[in-house]
């Protein structure tokens, strides 16, 4: 198993390397790939040292699998070149997600979208992954009409520069580089990704479009407001789910969620037991709590969903996709 990890030295790449070891992914040849300025440096991983390669060098080595965490423009240019040499590509950017014929996969939901011929596979947006993990079991039993989502997103979703900005501000240093247009410490910024003509951001529209594709149902309406918060542990989402028909009982909602692989129901407010990024950090599960009936609409319920955006929201989901390629016999 010759594995190229594109973006190996970045924040998601670092978590990806950790997850590969934790899950015992069968790597026989590890090919770390990074920018030209990092090429030739040494990367220590899993007890050995590896030379960091350029993208061109990695393609020439004809890996079996390439996991990309290097941005959309890099993926658009280089993913097809890896695919041309017979390599499966799992791409963590938004470049390929809504392309027809490109599987957009959360393995617990739609691993059947993987085929031997689809060499490029899209890893969904981090916020979308945790949302659909909670919506899927509910939608299968009681079709959902709409999901209205407000996100509370960790600075890790922006990258190292944002983590550094938060750390600098908390240390009283406001002269350092800024990943955001405003201070993030003691602040909430309702601006994730760029604004579009419709007034929504790209991040918000990712939730709208990707949820439909993963659930395989264009009738599910998703409207979102995405907010960056001064948190480092993971993303949180407040979700108002409205069903097409009568809403299920809360006991059934909890039962359906608990039956979903990878979902943990954490819903005992009396004991102050509810999901928080502080405790989701470093975990692969999606945590759901604050489950309650809406007091305005008799077909709606509220959910509070939390997950580590660098793990299940990125690295872990990508590795799970690769594991399914192996179990299906597409990747050996």
Q: How far apart are CA 44 and CA 54, in angstroms?
A: 17
Q: Is this structure's pTM higher than 0.85? A: yes
Q: How confident is the model at residue 172 (pLDDT cuts 50, 70, 90)?
A: very high
Q: What is the pLDDT of residues 295-332, one digit of tens each?
A: 999 999 999 999 999 999 999 999 999 999 999 999 98
List the catalytic residues: 126, 235
Which residue is associated with the tokens 């014929």? 101
Q: Give me the torsion for CA of 202, 203, 207, 210, rounded to 10°.
A: 60
pLDDT digits (tens, 9 = 90+) for 231-290: 998 999 999 999 999 999 999 999 999 999 999 999 999 999 999 999 999 999 999 999
**Residue 64 burial (CB < 10 Å; 0-12/13-18/19+)?**
buried
Write out the CATH class of domain 2-123+314-327: alpha beta
> In the CATH scheme, what architecture does the domain 127-309 have?
2-Layer Sandwich (3.30)
Judge whether 2 and 63 are in contact, CB under 8 Å: yes
Name the segment(s) of the chain with CATH classification 3.40.50.720.
Answer: 2-123+314-327
Map residue 194 onto helix, strand or coil: coil
Q: Where in the chain is the domain with CATH 3.30.360.10?
A: 127-309
Alpha helices in 196-260 (DSSP H): 202-215, 250-258
Question: Exposed, middle or buried: residue 246 (CB in 10 Å: 0-12, 13-18, 19+)?
Answer: exposed
Interval 27-64: pLDDT, tens: 999 999 998 889 999 999 999 999 999 999 999 999 99
Residues 86 and 329 sit within 8 Å (Cβ to Cβ) = no
Q: In terms of C-beta distances under 8 Å and separation of at least 24 residues, what long-range contacts does 243-247 make, across chains too? A: 243/138, 243/142, 243/143, 243/144, 243/145, 243/299, 243/300, 244/142, 244/143, 244/144, 244/145, 244/299, 245/142, 245/143, 245/299, 246/298, 246/299, 247/142, 247/293, 247/298, 247/299, 247/300, 247/301
Q: Do 276 and 154 form a contact (C-beta atoms < 8 A)?
A: no
């Amino acid at each position: 198993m010759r594995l190229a990890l594109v973006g190996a030295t970045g924040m998601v790449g670092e978590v990806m390397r950790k997850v590969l070891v934790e899950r015992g992914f069968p790597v026989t040849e590890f090919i770390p790939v990074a920018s030209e300025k990092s090429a030739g440096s040494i990367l220590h991983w899993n007890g050995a040292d590896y030379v960091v390669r350029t993208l061109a060098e990695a393609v020439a080595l004809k890996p079996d699998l390439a996991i990309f965490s290097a941005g959309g423009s890099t993926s658009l240019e280089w993913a097809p070149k890896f695919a041309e040499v017979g390599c499966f590509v799992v791409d963590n950017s938004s470049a390929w997600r809504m392309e027809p014929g490109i599987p957009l996969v959360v393995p617990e939901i739609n691993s059947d979208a993987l085929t031997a011929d689809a060499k490029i596979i899209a890893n969904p947006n981090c916020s979308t992954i945790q949302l659909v993990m909670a919506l899927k079991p509910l939608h299968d039993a009681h079709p959902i009409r709409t999901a209205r989502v407000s996100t509370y997103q960790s600075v890790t979703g922006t990258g190292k520069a944002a983590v550094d900005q938060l750390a600098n501000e908390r240390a009283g240093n406001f002269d350092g580089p800024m990943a955001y247009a405003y201070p993030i410490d003691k602040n909430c910024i309702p601006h994730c990704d760029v604004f579009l003509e419709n007034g929504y951001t790209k991040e918000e529209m990712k939730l709208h479009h990707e949820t439909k594709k993963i659930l395989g149902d264009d009738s599910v309406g998703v409207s979102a407001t995405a907010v960056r918060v001064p948190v480092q542990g993971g993303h949180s989402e407040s979700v108002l789910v409205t069903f097409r028909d009568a809403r299920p009982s809360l006991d059934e909602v909890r039962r359906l969620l608990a039956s979903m692989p990878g979902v943990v129901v954490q819903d005992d407010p009396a004991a102050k037991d509810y999901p928080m990024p502080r405790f989701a950090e470093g975990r692969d599960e999606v945590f759901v709590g604050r489950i309650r009936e809406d007091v305005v609409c008799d077909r709606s319920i509220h959910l509070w969903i939390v997950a580590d955006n660098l793990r299940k929201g990125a690295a872990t989901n990508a590795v799970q996709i690769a594991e399914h390629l192996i179990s299906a016999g597409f990747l050996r």
